[in-house]
Amino acid sequence: MKASTIAEREARGRAAREKSKRSSHRTVGELQRDPLPLLKESSEGRVQNLVPLRYGRMAVSPFTFFRGTAILQAHDLSKVHDTGLVMPICGDGHLMNFGGFATPERQLVFDLNDFDEVSVGPFEWDLKRLAASLVIAARHMRLSRGTAEDLVMTAIGEYRNRMAQYAQCGALDLWYERITFDRMADTALTPERRRAVRRGMEKAASRTHESLFEKMAEHDGHRWVIRDAPPALFHVLGANTLFTEEETEVLKGAHGHKMLDSMWSDYVKTISHDRRELLAHFGVQDIVFKVVGVGSVGTRCMAVLLVDHMGKPLFLQMKEARPSVIARYCKTPPVKHQGERVVQGQRMLQAASDIFLGWTTSPLGRHYYFRQLRDMKLSANIELFDTDLLTGYAQLCGWVMARAHAKASGQAVEVSAYIGRGDQFAEALAAYAASYADQVERDYDAFIKACRSGVLQARSDEDMAADFRV
């Protein structure tokens, strides 16, 4: 088959403007829908006693509500025309789903770090999720309308500029491209941004398996045991469990151990031979349920503690993989295994991925994926950022998104040609983000009203933790 020339690919990108004009991206569409049925639907199949905690975390602010409602924006994006330039996308690329972590070579990089919704979809869906999150976060921090607009223009402008650069790169160049903290410091425009990067590097260096081991585990004379800290951390069959009797019945006794052994065996088959050999040096000590994030609360997520012959720890996370909301609204081909979808999507979009990424299936038919729980991972506390730091962060997010899309899709030429060199696309997304932030605030008000009237039950971490205090 004859490969397309650069000129043909550029023409294909520009032709996408006929299907979806760049200025058309400012519209959010006709959103005559009630958010509550979609919210309730997204809570189905979760651990039922944790659903109120999910709602409690979402109730903190419109920003936390937005983080927990990827299903709403995916639904809404499907109601407007897209570019037709489809590729592997993160699916939930809001500004808190970026962060720092160590590569297998122990280099600290900044990248996308959440792939639960990863799927094939229009490239601009990722950008609209990011743009809306910047405006909602700016409003949460009581920044001006102009500042919020500038943040979106900065992020999308950086995406445009980087994509134009990546359109000039060979395939291997894109594959090896990494946004390291050293590069971030070198390209930072202000002294404060450089200091923030250096502080981040120092903090990440302390976030190791051993530092987590000291905080979370104790030896009971026979093995290492993770301490319960409900509602965030508890043994499923222990006194502090938030599972119902019905939910735990199948896990009791020898049958439960056989289930876990089967899942572990299936997982190990999905990682490469050298990593299986490495994992063979570790023995499982304890497994606890771990409540994570905002949107993921109530999905089944376990923290697994392993120790090697020298008593050195390794924490793995086994997390339930549910169908992507992007796939639901983008009419993509069926996925055989949701855990494999997450792992393969992460490997495609990230510059360097966790060496222990793999997937498994429970005998009950639930899909899971494995990754390290903590390996120099770092997330930004944006509420402590001033406008300059937030602007620098928005720029980084735009850079990361461009790198991820360019690597995963091989369509940097087409996307760059579609966006063009001017600000028309960025201005449209800034207008979209402002309008969509208004929609999120309306949805949040409806959600809070439902919580206050008892239609939905919302409980905070503090409320639930008080249930376990003597």
Domain end call among 372, 404, 438:
372
Helix axis angle, 123-140 to 145-166, nearest 10°: 150
422 Cβ partners below 8 Å, 6+ apart?
Answer: none
Q: Are 424 and 23 in contact (CB under 8 A)?
A: yes
Q: What is the total residue count of the chain?
A: 470
Q: Are 301 and 50 in contact (CB under 8 A)?
A: no
- Global pTM reads 0.95
Would you say residue 102 lies in a domain?
no
Q: Encode pLDDT of 234-248 as tens digits.
A: 999 899 999 888 888
How many domains does the chain divide into? 2
Distance CA 155, CA 272 (A): 37
Domain that holds residue 222: 209-372
Count other C-beta atoms under 10 Å from residue 334's C-beta: 6
DSSP letter assigned to residue 17: H
Are 334 and 397 part of one and the same domain?
no
Distance CA 258, CA 363 (A): 10
Would you say residue 340 lies in a domain?
yes
Would you say residue 197 lies in a domain?
no
Which of 5, 15, 1 has its CA nearest to residue 417?
15
Domain end call among 322, 348, 372:
372
Paired with 77 in beta bridges are: none
Are 169 and 63 part of one and the same domain?
yes
Q: Are 304 and 315 in contact (CB under 8 A)?
A: yes
Are 76 and 163 part of one and the same domain?
yes
Are 358 and 430 part of one and the same domain?
no
Task: Give me the DSSP letters along 108-148.
Answer: EEEEE---TT-EEEEHHHHHHHHHHHHHHHHHHTT--HHHH
Give the chain's end-to-end CA distance (angstroms, integer).
Answer: 71
Which of 442, 292, 348, 271 has its CA nearest to residue 115?
348
Distance CA 304, CA 75 (A): 35
Are 172 and 259 part of one and the same domain?
no
Which of 42, 47, 50 has its CA nearest to residue 247?
47
Are 347 and 229 part of one and the same domain?
yes
Distance CA 264, CA 259 (A): 9
DSSP letter assigned to residue 237: T
Q: Are 103 and 178 in contact (CB under 8 A)?
A: yes
Q: Are 68 and 46 in contact (CB under 8 A)?
A: no
In terms of DSSP H, where are the helices of 242-337? 245-248, 253-268, 273-279, 325-330
Are 323 and 420 part of one and the same domain?
no
Domain end call among 325, 346, 372:
372
Structure tokens at 336: 């055989």
Q: Encode pLDDT of 255-265 as tens digits.
A: 678 888 999 99
103 Cβ partners below 8 Å, 6+ apart?
Answer: 109, 178, 351, 352
Would you say residue 112 lies in a domain?
no
Q: For residue 470, what pLDDT is reported? A: 47
DSSP H or E run through 430: helix 424-453
Distance CA 208, CA 198 (A): 17
Are 172 and 221 part of one and the same domain?
no
Q: Are 392 and 300 in contact (CB under 8 A)?
A: no
Q: Encode pLDDT of 197-242 as tens digits.
A: 888 888 887 888 888 888 889 999 889 999 999 999 999 989 999 9
Would you say residue 106 lies in a domain?
no
Distance CA 280, CA 274 (A): 10
Would you say residue 377 lies in a domain?
no
Are 288 and 323 part of one and the same domain?
yes
Would you say residue 46 lies in a domain?
yes
Task: Give residue 81's identity as a one-letter amino acid code.
Answer: H
Residue 37 exposed, middle or buried by CB count within 10 Å (0-12, 13-18, 19+): exposed
DSSP letter assigned to residue 378: B
Which of 386, 432, 437, 396 has its CA nearest to residue 157?
396
Distance CA 427, CA 435 (A): 13
Would you say residue 199 lies in a domain?
no
Are 297 and 424 part of one and the same domain?
no
Q: For residue 438, what pLDDT is reported? A: 97
Residue 469 exposed, middle or buried by CB count within 10 Å (0-12, 13-18, 19+): exposed
Residue with the two structure tokens 């792939």: 115
Are 257 and 362 part of one and the same domain?
yes
Are 228 and 340 part of one and the same domain?
yes
Count other C-beta atoms under 10 Å from residue 343's C-beta: 24
Q: Are 375 and 127 in contact (CB under 8 A)?
A: no
Beta strand extents in 182-272 (DSSP E only): 217-219, 224-226, 233-234
Q: For residue 349, what pLDDT is reported? A: 98
Which residues of the chain, if any, have pLDDT below 50? 470
